[in-house]
């Protein structure tokens, strides 16, 4: 296929169209000539994980062109054999005529193993919040029927008992919509009404009045709006019971793995596109969560959304471009309580929506939710908190201060930039050990499915195994040559064979390259440097840390011992570590049910001091020092005994 020539201007102006037929799913889309196959798939509603947002650098969007005319840019991410079989990168290949495309199994997005979804996760939250104080207060009132001597307006007649019940009605607002429904609503159930008061920051808004007999019980929706995956909980507001949960990929994934790629995409295609993708995902999940319950979306009148700053900006349609430009300024940190209708969420249009506040561009509401849930902000004990999701955010603090930072860990732990890296989807290797003699791996995969790649926890296992078994040196270089039966060369690089192609039913072996190792070392170095700098900033060191909390989906199957061996986590007493699951959804759940927790979230966000690492020289020093396994300063990892002789460059 080779490098394509650009279209002569005349041709482009004709705006020819091509039909792209896609298997599986047998979808057909008509697109302008020159559209990439990735865009065509997106248009057909097929979600492909395109980590790098179509830059041609991640190699995830592999497709097979079965027939038809395309132009492809050259890529080193496909083998010659693959190219002969018709494999192309979807983002680098443009339709120049009608095309038949096959999307291979491994390219399609699979069900993600989202943390916070199990019965255990939801059960442990139930009962956590007491008393329950929703945003939407529903008050059933019996009004005095009007007479000639008592002819105050319907609205004043409603306000009268509210006032008598101790509500501050002087600051209460009434929407025009309510005024329009009011006359009939008060009369339909013989002057028995249910008033829905949305409690906002300093006042309340009367958002609905309905005949008392018609008012359903309230449902709440807690949303963990992750860059990669989105989790929703449907909650009975009366008792806080989690009725159902649903999770799925954030559809924005086709615009790139990380927040920077999403912002770039929003700048190119408009923020509305990304907004729609997030809304569609949330609304589809809400639909799934409602399915089978005797409830409608219109019963949801409380919503809390917890996401990082970029995610919340995109969801609300706020301009995200200044987030990625120095000095990194979000439009809004503390959001007013809004209504579902103005945002477009599948819920009652008048539903109150609380968005978790985010203190900075790269530390958002999901981290505030995590701090809220884990509760260390109330404890004297100095705590280190880390959420390794698509970003790596850390918090250091206790009941006296909270200091936070984001380390540009990159998406390596979620599979980004790692040749066989993948998210914790079905078939991802999540645990692995190497035979000390043959280096033959023994592994287990998510859902026990045939191996398709290796996810974060698997990579950490592998890194520590390779280090302990002397496969790599502390510098991350392989110590065996290509003559070793488990070693190979890929693109002039040494690589360890994790599984042979024939066993995978593929033409290619599943390998782990020196570049992959380098990527992981950079990621873990960024995280560890982050810990170090935060501690230094307040004149402390690791010995003073009383507790280390790990949250986020990635931590679920993390072997802490192995994460310490590779130098990702500090070498603390093992009993100081605790894994607290999806703290973003847990914090959202708490804020959904309690005004105090909503206030607490605002207070946490305001208390947090954000440290920007992008131009921090101390961070750069520590980052460099940490690019070694486990670290250039061995004293920091006294329990890690690296027994191989060759310590690499730093030896």
Q: What residues line the site for its own copies (CB under 8 A)?
A: 146-148, 150-157, 170-171, 173-174, 176, 179-180, 182-184, 187, 200-203, 316-319, 321-322, 326-336, 338, 342-343, 360-361, 610, 612, 614-615
Q: Minimum distance from CB of 500 to its own copies (Å)?
A: 50
Q: Minimum distance from CB of 41 to its own copies (Å)?
A: 30
**Of the two residues 204 and 384, which places its CB atom closer to its own copies in the complex?**
204
**Of the two residues 146 and 501, which places its CB atom closer to its own copies in the complex?**
146
Burial 541-570 (b: 16+ CB within 10 A, else e): eeeebebbbbbbbbbbbbebebbbbbbbbb
Of 451, 405, 419, 372, give the one whose Cα is nearest residue 110.
451
Distance CA 524, CA 460 (A): 10
Q: Minimum distance from CB of 153 to its own copies (Å)?
A: 4
Q: Minimum distance from CB of 352 to its own copies (Å)?
A: 13
**Of the two residues 362 and 623, which places its CB atom closer to its own copies in the complex?**
362
- The CA-CA-CA angle for residues 447, 453, 459, to 5°, reads 95
The answer to whether the beta carbons of residues 642 and 629 sit under 8 Å apart is yes
Q: Minimum distance from CB of 343 to its own copies (Å)?
A: 7
Long-range contacts of 479-483 (CB under 8 A, 24+ apart): 479/644, 479/646, 480/439
**Of the two residues 256 and 320, which places its CB atom closer to its own copies in the complex?**
320
Q: Minimum distance from CB of 603 to its own copies (Å)?
A: 14
Q: Minimum distance from CB of 333 to its own copies (Å)?
A: 4
The answer to whether the beta carbons of residues 51 and 416 sit under 8 Å apart is yes
Q: Minimum distance from CB of 208 to its own copies (Å)?
A: 15
**Of the two residues 401 and 500, which places its CB atom closer to its own copies in the complex?**
401
Hey, what's the torsion of the CAs at 489, 495, 498, 503, to 10 degrees?
-10
**Of the two residues 362 and 376, which places its CB atom closer to its own copies in the complex?**
362
**Of the two residues 200 and 431, which places its CB atom closer to its own copies in the complex?**
200
DSSP string, 403-435: EEEEE---SGGGTTT-TTB--SBTTEEEEEEE-
DSSP string, 30-44: EEETT-BHHHHHHHT
Across the beta sheet with 428-434, what order do the strands follow? Answer: 441-445, 428-434, 453-454
β-strands 577-579, 547-551 pairing: parallel
Distance CA 126, CA 239 (A): 8
**Of the two residues 68 and 211, which places its CB atom closer to its own copies in the complex?**
211
Q: Minimum distance from CB of 309 to its own copies (Å)?
A: 9
**Of the two residues 26 and 326, which places its CB atom closer to its own copies in the complex?**
326
Q: Minimum distance from CB of 179 to its own copies (Å)?
A: 5
**Of the two residues 205 and 465, which places its CB atom closer to its own copies in the complex?**
205
Please give the sequence-ordered ranges of beta strands (E in DSSP) within 6-156, or none if there are none: 17-23, 27-32, 62-72, 87-89, 93-102, 136-142
**Of the two residues 95 and 361, which places its CB atom closer to its own copies in the complex?**
361
Q: Structure tokens of 327?
A: 């000095």
Of 314, 359, 374, 312, give the one whose Cα is nearest residue 555.
374
DSSP 3-state percent helix, strand, coil across the chain (nearest 5): 35, 25, 40
Q: Minimum distance from CB of 279 to its own copies (Å)?
A: 14
Residue 552 falls in which region: left (phi positive, over 0), alpha (psi -120 to 50) or beta: left
């Amino acid at each position: 296929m080779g490098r394509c020539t650009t279209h002569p201007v005349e041709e482009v102006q004709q705006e020819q169209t091509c039909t792209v037929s896609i298997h599986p799913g047998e979808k057909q889309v008509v697109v302008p000539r020159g559209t990439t196959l990735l865009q065509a798939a997106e248009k057909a509603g097929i979600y492909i994980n395109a980590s790098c947002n179509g830059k041609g650098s991640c190699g995830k969007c592999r497709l097979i062109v079965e027939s038809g005319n395309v132009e492809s840019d050259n890529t080193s991410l496909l083998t010659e054999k693959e190219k002969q079989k018709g494999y192309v990168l979807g983002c680098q290949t443009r339709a120049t005529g009608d095309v038949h495309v096959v999307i291979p199994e491994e390219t399609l997005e699979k069900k993600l193993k989202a943390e916070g979804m199990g019965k255990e996760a939801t059960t442990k939250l139930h009962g956590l919040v007491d008393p329950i104080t929703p945003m939407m207060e529903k008050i059933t009132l019996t009004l005095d029927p009007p007479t000639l001597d008592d002819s105050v307006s319907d609205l004043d007649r409603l306000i009268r008992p509210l006032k008598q019940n101790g509500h501050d009605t002087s600051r209460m607002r009434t929407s025009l919509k309510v005024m329009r429904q009011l006359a009939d609503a008060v009369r339909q159930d013989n002057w028995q009404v249910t008033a829905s008061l949305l409690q906002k920051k300093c006042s309340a808004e009367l958002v609905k009045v309905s005949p008392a007999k018609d008012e359903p019980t309230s449902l709440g929706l807690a949303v963990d709006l992750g860059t990669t995956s989105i989790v929703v909980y449907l909650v009975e507001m009366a008792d806080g019971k989690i009725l159902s949960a649903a999770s799925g990929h954030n559809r924005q994934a086709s615009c790139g793995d990380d927040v920077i790629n999403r912002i770039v995409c929003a700048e190119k295609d408009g923020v509305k596109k990304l907004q729609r993708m997030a809304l569609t995902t949330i609304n589809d999940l809400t639909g799934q969560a409602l399915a089978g319950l005797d409830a409608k979306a219109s019963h949801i009148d409380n919503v809390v959304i917890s996401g990082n700053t970029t995610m919340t900006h995109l969801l609300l349609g706020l301009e995200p471009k200044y987030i990625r430009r120095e000095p990194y300024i979000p439009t809004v940190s503390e959001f007013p309580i809004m209504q579902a209708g103005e945002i477009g969420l599948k819920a009652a249009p008048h539903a109150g929506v609380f968005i978790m506040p985010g203190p900075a561009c790269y530390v958002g509401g999901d981290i505030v939710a995590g701090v809220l849930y884990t509760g260390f902000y109330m404890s004297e004990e100095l705590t280190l908190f880390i959420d390794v999701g698509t970003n790596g955010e850390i918090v250091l603090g206790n009941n006296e201060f909270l200091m936070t930072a984001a380390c540009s860990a990159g998406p390596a732990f979620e599979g980004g930039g790692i040749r066989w890296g993948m998210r914790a989807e079905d078939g991802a290797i999540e645990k692995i050990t190497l035979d000390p003699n043959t280096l033959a791996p023994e592994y287990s995969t998510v859902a026990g499915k045939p191996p398709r790649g290796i996810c974060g926890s698997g990579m950490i296992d592998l890194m520590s195994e390779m280090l302990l078994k002397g496969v790599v040196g502390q510098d991350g270089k392989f110590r065996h040559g290509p003559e070793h039966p488990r070693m190979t060369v890929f693109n002039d690089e040494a690589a360890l064979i994790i599984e042979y192609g024939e066993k995978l039913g593929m033409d290619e072996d599943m390998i782990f390259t020196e570049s992959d190792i380098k990527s992981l070392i950079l990621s873990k170095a960024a995280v560890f440097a982050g810990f170090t700098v935060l501690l230094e900033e307040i004149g402390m060191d690791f010995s003073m840390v009383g507790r280390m909390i790990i949250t986020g989906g990635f931590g679920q199957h993390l072997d802490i011992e192995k994460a310490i061996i590779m130098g990702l986590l500090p070498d603390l007493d093992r009993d100081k570590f605790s894994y607290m699951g999806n703290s973003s959804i847990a914090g959202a759940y708490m804020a959904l049910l309690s005004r105090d927790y909503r206030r607490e979230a605002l207070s946490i966000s305001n208390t947090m001091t954000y440290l920007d690492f992008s131009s921090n020289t101390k961070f750069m020093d520590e980052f460099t020092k940490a690019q070694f396994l486990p670290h250039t300063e061995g004293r920091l990892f006294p329990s890690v005994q690296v027994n191989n002789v060759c310590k690499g460059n730093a030896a």
